[in-house]
Amino acid sequence: ESPMPSESFQNLSEKSQSPSSQPDQSSSQQPPSSKPVENPIEIRPESSPPITNTEAGLPATPTPPPKSIEGRIMNISGDAIYDQRTPQHAAYDWLINSDPANLDLDKLSDQELSQRYVAALFYFSLGGDNWVEKYQFLEESNVCEWNNGSSRNRMGIICDSPGTITDFTVNKYGPITGIIMSK
């Protein structure tokens, strides 16, 4: 949707405030005129800066959650991080209170923080405490090292060369149970 230029909005605003556009309370309602508009407003988005929601009479855009660790994790899992029965809470609690890396989470990029949280969430969602082989999950190392180290049959977290998680493979040593959330 193209933003409406501020000049055009002002013209519309002035017309809507003019007496001729307000219904006459003293007379009976007349049907709308089918007469074509004599002076249509031309909209040229490139000629004027876009107007803000407030200027257009729309609700203000909600402010995004703060860039706190809590806000950044809530962007991934919502308020499930507060429910102690969920793997989201277990992963969030581990990241804040038990991560042996003891990272300065405020200094991590969004990708680094979200990958560490999501990898822990994967572990807790699928009952990682009960896995026969834990693939170094929840260790101090980078999440891209949470695997069996094999170059031929890698199990655990698989990353590409820039260090982005591309795959989770953990079912070699028996069934894994749990629920993976869509977000």
For residue 119, give every residue at least 6 positions away whose Cβ sits within 8 Å of its Cβ, in sequence order, or none.
Answer: 137, 143, 146, 157, 165, 168
User: For residue range 113-123, what is the model confidence (pLDDT) as tens digits?
Assistant: 999 999 999 99
Res. 81: pLDDT tops 50? yes
User: For residue range 29-40, what is the model confidence (pLDDT) as tens digits?
Assistant: 555 555 554 554
Q: How far is Cα of residue 64 from the mean position of the Cα atoms in its chain?
A: 10
**What is this structure's pTM?**
0.60
Long-range contacts of 146-149 (CB under 8 A, 24+ apart): 146/119
Name the token pair of 42: 């031309």
Q: Where are the beta strands (DSSP E) in the chain?
A: 156-159, 165-169
